[in-house]
């Protein structure tokens, strides 16, 4: 079987200790480190989820998000972890700054598929390759370690930055949900995209050279 050149292995995964001294596994790429989420992360995620620009791109947060809602989100994320979802916090390798979240959710272990989401919440860390690097890391983990076969996502048609990035990673458009999202007095299309492990490995041969 053909394997990805950048499969997560002992050189990219390592145990480190967070500020509370807890043992954590992390996966290191060229620009980012993916580490388990921590309760302290909700301080920043609360700000990001209430930021209008981020809310418009990440569908799901339509009402104001409160600190209590974030605590519940954190608890439910941990409960779902290992069954139907896995969430990592994204850190910039350059300065160890916590800059966003990335996740696989709705994991179906029988059909070996899942959905995917990403938020680079710190805006000064957007557009510098952190999103791309984090996705490559997470997808190596998904396809090679978790044995996922197909990753799906939904993206608003106006989110051209995300769509460009997803196409670069190898995602293919599978369909359109017409006028599916109401935002700012208009209905917007939602694009459905998919990526099979085989497609990712093909695209990844180019990506690792970039």
Q: Following CA atoms 41, 9, 199, 77 in sequence, which dihedral angle do they give, to the nearest 10 degrees? A: -30
SS3 of the chain: helix, strand, coil, percent, to 5: 35, 35, 30
Binding span for ligand COA by CB under 6 A among 32-40, 139-147, 161-169, 174-182: 161-169
Query: Per CB under 6 A, does 119 bind ligand COA?
Result: yes
Q: How far is the CB of 1 from ligand COA (least distance, A)?
A: 29
Nearer Cβ to ligand COA, position 131 or 197? 131
- Cα 169 to Cα 89, 123, 162, distances in angstroms: 20, 21, 11
List 35, 85, 132, 150, residue binding ligand COA (CB under 6 A):
132
Across-strand partners of 116? 104
In terms of phi and psi (left: phi > 0; alpha: psi -120 to 50; beta: otherwise), the region of 74 is alpha
Using a 10 angstrom Cβ sphere, with 0-12 exposed, 13-18 middle and 19 or more buried, the burial of residue 110 is exposed
List 8, 87, 155, 203, residue binding ligand COA (CB under 6 A):
155
Task: Tell which residue, 102, 112, 204, has the closest CA to residue 151.
Answer: 112
Using CB under 6 A, which residues numbered 39 to 68 contact ligand COA? 54, 57-58
Sign, CA torsion 136/137/141/142: negative
Two tokens, residue 95: 């300065």
List 87, 104, 107, 162, residue binding ligand COA (CB under 6 A):
162
Binding span for ligand COA by CB under 6 A among 67-75, 103-111, 113-121, 137-145: 113-121
Candidates 27, 74, 125, 166; catalytic one: 166
Known active-site residue 145:
no
Binding span for ligand COA by CB under 6 A among 32-40, 65-73, 129-137, 176-184: 129-137
Query: Per CB under 6 A, does 120 bind ligand COA?
Result: yes
Q: For binding to ligand COA (CB under 6 A), which residues are involved?
A: 54, 57-58, 118-120, 126-132, 155, 159-162, 164-165, 168
Q: Where in the sequence numbering do the catalytic residues fall? A: 166
């Amino acid at each position: 079987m053909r394997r990805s050149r950048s499969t997560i292995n002992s050189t990219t995964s390592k145990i480190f200790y967070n500020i509370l001294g807890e043992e954590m596994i992390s996966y290191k790429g060229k620009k980012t480190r993916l580490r388990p989420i921590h309760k302290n992360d909700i301080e920043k995620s609360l700000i990001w989820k209430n930021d209008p620009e981020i809310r418009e791109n990440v569908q799901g947060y339509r009402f104001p998000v409160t600190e209590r809602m974030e605590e519940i989100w954190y608890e439910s994320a941990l409960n779902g972890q290992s069954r139907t979802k896995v969430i990592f916090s994204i850190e910039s390798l350059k300065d160890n700054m916590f800059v966003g979240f990335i996740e696989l959710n709705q994991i179906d272990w029988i059909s070996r598929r899942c959905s995917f989401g990403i938020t680079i919440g710190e805006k000064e860390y957007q557009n510098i390759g952190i999103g791309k690097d984090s996705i490559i890391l997470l997808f190596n983990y998904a396809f090679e370690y978790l044995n996922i076969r197909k990753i799906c996502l939904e993206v608003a048609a106006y989110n051209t930055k995300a769509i460009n990035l997803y196409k670069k990673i190898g995602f293919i458009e599978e369909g359109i949900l017409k006028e599916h999202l109401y935002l700012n007095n208009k209905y917007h299309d939602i694009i459905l995209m998919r990526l099979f492990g085989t497609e990712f490995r093909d695209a990844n041969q180019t990506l690792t050279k970039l």
